[in-house]
């Protein structure tokens, strides 16, 4: 058998394999060639490190580390509590990814104790509602349940969430039309769930209310599952929008990260925009979005469709001049300082400096670092490294904030 | 043999669709086809289909009628099994190894197949091609 294929993430196995290969002077290429560290690593500080937010009811601590099994990389995690609606029968689930690129709470069924009986949400015909949540990386299949959702001191009452890979009630196997959309992504590597806190309230919206998309929501019975429409109230929804207070958006605060990477960092997920003394956006610049939820980023003279996504573990953009290693991550021989210019429909623009260093140049135990990667030719995905050393605001669609109505990004 | 039968079955079951590496599909009412040529002057066709979900699919076929690339964009993921044909299993098997990418991107490359899937709910884009099947002079930027 060949050397194990090196994953684009800094999995321990990959690091060990690449080191062993280096020591044995047997470079098979799987992990890419150069593992040089930049000589005198500059401190990448595109923005001053924000002061840590004080503990408060609207602040959930974020940790970015290797996750449940050490395979997560650049994944920001919080803890989320789910309760049987209206009761104190609850379970707290840690290692839930904070994802500004999706909407709603999805928990691995295996992370929720059987003693927590979450009622099933019904499809319009009365059958149990299931969902095949589409991500670019694959789908998450499971049942839709009702739960009270608490994060830090905030609580959303009786909202639909998704129980991913729910083995019960006929949900054990995804329908063929779901499996045919791509890989089975589940809740992702090293995670127990996904907390979608992007700027929409429902995960599908009007696109699922009048005619059923081919592979999103399903009505499931013993006879099987078939695509169904779903009213907005039954769709998996962003818990933030259902909080009693601090429900108009969020801020994500992360510290700067040195070149070479670090084992972990701590930050904050703050609820509300301008609703409390600790979430005043001040002079943060607002970037509005188009109908698809994107703004424009110009990189090396090319306009790209752009979004900001804490659930993407690198900055993904097209640059044929940067060498790639396996999985499409960029592996330049030395750290690159690059820049791109964002511009939004509301006229805002900003030039953003950023670093990209080879994932092979990170310290062996790094779960955080300035990673970049390829993503076709039309998209700039501002993944987690964009959040390093910044406070990034999300304004929820239809809500009002001191920065104006959502949807928007601001930083 | 089993693969070939499976492929034939898929094509029969999904009129208006062609699988990567297979013959181009017959034009359907929602389809429009246009002729193009590469920088090297090699002719190919771009067949565009708008699915009921609103997602637009392009199938690129060479002069012999074999689909060498596909692309998609729109609010929902298409049926990639129908679109990639026998390559779908290669894609999902290799994607399973690419853990930790995050949600908004999946890229798979093996000796011949390249699949790049990006975006998020409401706005997906993707492209796939067979390296060995690309017509001479074909620029990947031509994939819509």
The CA-to-CA distance between both ends of chain A, in Å, stands at 49
Instruction: Band the pLDDT of B5: cuts 50, 70, 90.
Output: very low
Same domain for A222 and A129: yes
Element containing residue B83 per DSSP (H, E): helix B80-84
Chains A, B: CB contacts within 8 A come to 174
Contact B30, B55 (CB under 8 A): no
Predicted model pTM: 0.87
Domain containing A392 equals 271-410
* A305 token code pair: 């469709």
Same domain for A61 and A206: yes
CA distances from A49 to A127, A172, A253 (A): 51, 46, 9
Per DSSP, the residues of A98-154 read: EETTSEEEEEEGGGS-TTS-PPBPBPTTSSEEEEEEEETTEEEEEEEEEEEEEETTE
Query: What is the pairing mode between strands A295-299 and A90-99?
Result: unpaired
Output DSSP code: residue A307.
Answer: E
Whether residues B99 and A11 touch (CB distance < 8 A) is answered with yes
A372-373 sheet: strands from edge to edge: A349-356, A336-343, A295-299, A302-308, A379-382, A315-316, A372-373
Tell me which residue of A103, A258, A198, A123 sits closest to A393, measured CA to CA.
Answer: A198
Instruction: Supply the ipTM of this predicted assembly.
Output: 0.85
Assess if residue A14 is contained within a domain.
no
* B16 token code pair: 């208006």
Contact A379, A317 (CB under 8 A): yes
Report the CATH number that the domain containing residue A191 is assigned in CATH. 2.40.70.10
Per DSSP, the residues of A329-375 read: BB--SS-EEEEEEEE-TTS-EEEEEEEE--GGGS-TT-SB---EE--
Question: Sign (positive/negative) of CA torsion A79, A85, A91, A96?
Answer: negative
Per DSSP, the residues of A222-251 read: TTEEEE----GGGS-B-HHHHBSSS-SEEE
What are the backbone angles phi and psi of residue A13, rounded to the nearest 5°?
A: -60, -45
Which residues in B lie closer than 8 A to residue A72 (C-beta atoms)? 100
The CA distance from B15 to B22, in Å, is 13
Report the CATH number that the domain containing residue A397 is assigned in CATH. 2.40.70
Query: What is the pairing mode between strands B113-120 and B123-130?
Result: antiparallel
What are the backbone angles phi and psi of residue A361, rounded to the nearest 5°?
A: -95, -5
Contact A21, A34 (CB under 8 A): no
Question: Along the 411 residues of chain A, how does pLDDT read in single tens digits?
Answer: 333 333 333 333 333 333 333 333 333 333 333 333 333 344 444 444 455 544 699 999 999 999 999 999 999 999 999 999 999 999 999 999 999 999 999 999 999 999 999 999 999 999 999 999 999 999 999 999 999 999 999 999 999 999 999 999 889 999 999 999 999 999 998 999 999 999 999 999 999 999 999 899 999 998 899 999 999 999 999 999 999 999 999 999 999 999 999 999 999 999 999 999 999 999 999 999 999 999 999 999 999 999 999 999 999 999 999 999 877 899 999 999 999 999 999 999 999 999 999 999 999 999 999 999 988 788 999 999 999 999 999 999 999 999 999 999 999
**3-state SS assignment for residue B44:** strand
The CA distance from A207 to A236, in Å, is 13
Tell me which residue of A174, A112, A166, A96 sits closest to A139, measured CA to CA.
Answer: A174
Same domain for A235 and A137: yes
Tell me which residue of A402, A397, A387 sits closest to A352, measured CA to CA.
Answer: A387
Tell me which residue of B16, B137, B140 sits closest to B71, measured CA to CA.
Answer: B140
Assess if residue A7 is contained within a domain.
no
Assess if residue A372 is contained within a domain.
yes
Same domain for A295 and A201: no
Of A181, A292, A316, the CB nearest to B80: A181
Same domain for A222 and A74: yes
Tell me which residue of B89, B82, B122, B91 sits closest to B104, measured CA to CA.
Answer: B122
Same domain for A152 and A82: yes
The CA distance from A231 to A61, in Å, is 33
Q: Which of A136, A227, A362 to mutate to test the interface with B (most CBs of B within 10 A)?
A: A136
Which residues in A lie closer than 8 A to residue B80 (C-beta atoms)? 180-182
Whether residues A183 and B140 touch (CB distance < 8 A) is answered with no
Per-residue pLDDT at B12 exceeds 50 = no
Same domain for A71 and A214: yes
Same domain for A304 and A169: no
Contact B19, B11 (CB under 8 A): yes
What is the structure's pLDDT at B11? Answer: 37
CA angle (A291 as vertex; A288, A296 as ends), nearest 5 = 50
How many CB atoms sit inside 10 A of residue A18's CB?
Answer: 23
Per-residue pLDDT at B4 exceeds 80 = no
**3-state SS assignment for residue A208:** helix
Same domain for A84 and A206: yes
Give the nearest chain A residue to B125 (CA atoms): A136
The contacts of residue A183 (CB under 8 Å, 6+ apart) are A137, A138, A139, B91, B92, B95, B96, B106
Domain boundary pick from A242, A262, A286: A242
Same domain for A238 and A351: no
The CA distance from A150 to A173, in Å, is 29
Give the nearest chain B residue to A328 (CA atoms): B107
Domain boundary pick from A242, A261, A293: A242
Whether residues B81 and A313 touch (CB distance < 8 A) is answered with no
Length of chain A in residues, anyone? 411
Which residues in A lie closer than 8 A to residue B98 (C-beta atoms)? 7-8, 327
Q: Which of B104, B111, B123 to mutate to test the interface with A (most CBs of A within 10 A)?
A: B104
Instruction: Band the pLDDT of B18: cuts 50, 70, 90.
Output: low
Assess if residue A281 is contained within a domain.
yes
Instruction: Band the pLDDT of B144: cuts 50, 70, 90.
Output: confident
The CA distance from A103 to A168, in Å, is 24
The CA distance from A67 to A190, in Å, is 5
Of B98, B104, B106, the CB nearest to A7: B98
What is the structure's pLDDT at A81? Answer: 98
The CA distance from A409 to A400, in Å, is 13
The residue assigned the tokens 């002729």 is: B35
Assess if residue A180 is contained within a domain.
yes
The CA distance from A255 to A59, in Å, is 16
Whether residues A183 and B104 touch (CB distance < 8 A) is answered with no
Assess if residue A106 is contained within a domain.
yes
The CA distance from B68 to A107, in Å, is 39
Nearest chain B CA: its distance from A182 CA (Å): 6
Same domain for A293 and A394: yes
Tell me which residue of A56, A50, A104 sits closest to A82, measured CA to CA.
Answer: A104
Element containing residue B12 per DSSP (H, E): helix B2-13
Domain boundary pick from A221, A242, A263: A242
What are the backbone angles phi and psi of residue A237, rounded to the nearest 5°?
A: -130, 155
Which residues in B lie closer than 8 A to residue A179 (C-beta atoms)? 81
Q: Domain tally for chain A?
A: 2
What is the structure's pLDDT at B17? Answer: 58
Assess if residue A398 is contained within a domain.
yes
Same domain for A216 and A85: yes
Assess if residue A248 is contained within a domain.
no
């Amino acid at each position: 058998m060949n050397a194990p294929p090196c994953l684009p993430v800094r999995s321990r196995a990959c690091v060990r394999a690449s080191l062993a290969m280096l020591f044995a002077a047997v470079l098979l290429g799987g992990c890419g060639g150069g593992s040089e560290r930049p000589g005198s690593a500059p401190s990448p500080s595109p923005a001053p490190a924000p002061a840590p937010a004080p503990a408060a009811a609207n602040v959930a601590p974020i940790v970015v580390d290797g996750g449940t099994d050490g395979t997560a990389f650049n994944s920001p995690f919080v803890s989320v509590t789910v309760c049987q609606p209206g009761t104190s029968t609850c379970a707290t689930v840690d290692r839930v990814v904070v994802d500004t690129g999706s909407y709603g709470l999805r928990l691995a069924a295996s992370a929720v104790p059987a003693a927590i009986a979450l009622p099933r949400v019904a499809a319009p015909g009365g059958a149990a509602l299931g969902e095949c949540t589409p991500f670019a990386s694959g789908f998450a299949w499971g049942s839709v349940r009702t739960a009270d959702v608490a994060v830090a001191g905030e609580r959303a009452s009786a909202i639909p969430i998704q129980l991913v890979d729910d083995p019960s009630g006929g949900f054990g196997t995804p329908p063929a039309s779901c499996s045919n959309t791509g890989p089975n992504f589940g809740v992702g590597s090293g995670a127990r769930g996904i907390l979608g806190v992007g700027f929409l309230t429902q995960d599908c919206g009007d696109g699922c209310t009048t005619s059923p998309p081919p592979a999103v929501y399903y009505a499931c019975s013993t006879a099987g599952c078939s695509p169904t429409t779903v009213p907005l109230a039954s769709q998996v929804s962003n818990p933030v929008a259902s909080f009693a207070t601090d429900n108009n958006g969020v801020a994500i605060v992360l510290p700067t990260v040195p070149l070479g990477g670090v084992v972990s960092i701590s930050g904050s997920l703050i609820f509300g925009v301008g609703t409390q003394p600790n979430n005043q956006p001040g002079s943060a610049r607002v970037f509005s979005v188009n109908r698809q939820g994107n703004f424009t980023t110009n990189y090396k003279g090319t306009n790209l469709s752009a979004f900001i996504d804490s659930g993407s573990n690198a900055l993904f953009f097209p640059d044929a001049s940067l060498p790639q290693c396996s999985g499409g991550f960029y592996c330049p021989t030395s750290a690159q300082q690059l820049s791109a210019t964002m511009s939004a429909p509301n006229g805002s623009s900003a030039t953003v400096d950023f670093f990209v260093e080879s994932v092979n140049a990170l310290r062996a135990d790094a779960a955080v670092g300035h990673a970049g990667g390829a993503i076709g030719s039309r998209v700039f995905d501002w993944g987690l490294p964009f959040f390093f050393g910044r406070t990034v605001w999300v304004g929820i669609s239809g809500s009002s904030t001191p920065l104006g109505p959502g949807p928007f990004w601001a930083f | 043999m089993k693969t070939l039968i499976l492929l034939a079955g898929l094509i029969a079951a999904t009129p208006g669709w062609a699988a990567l590496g297979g013959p181009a599909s017959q034009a359907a009412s929602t389809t429009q086809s246009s002729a193009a040529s590469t920088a090297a002057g090699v002719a190919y066709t771009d067949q565009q289909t708008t699915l009921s979900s609103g997602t637009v699919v392009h199938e690129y076929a060479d002069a012999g009628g074999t689909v060498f690339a596909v692309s998609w964009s729109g609010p929902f993921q298409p049926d990639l099994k129908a679109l990639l044909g026998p390559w779908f299993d290669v894609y999902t098997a290799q994607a399973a190894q690419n853990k930790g990418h995050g949600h908004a991107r999946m890229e798979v490359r093996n000796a011949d197949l390249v699949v790049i899937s990006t975006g998020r709910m409401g706005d997906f884009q993707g492209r796939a091609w067979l390296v060995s099947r690309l017509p001479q002079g074909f620029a990947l930027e031509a994939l819509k």
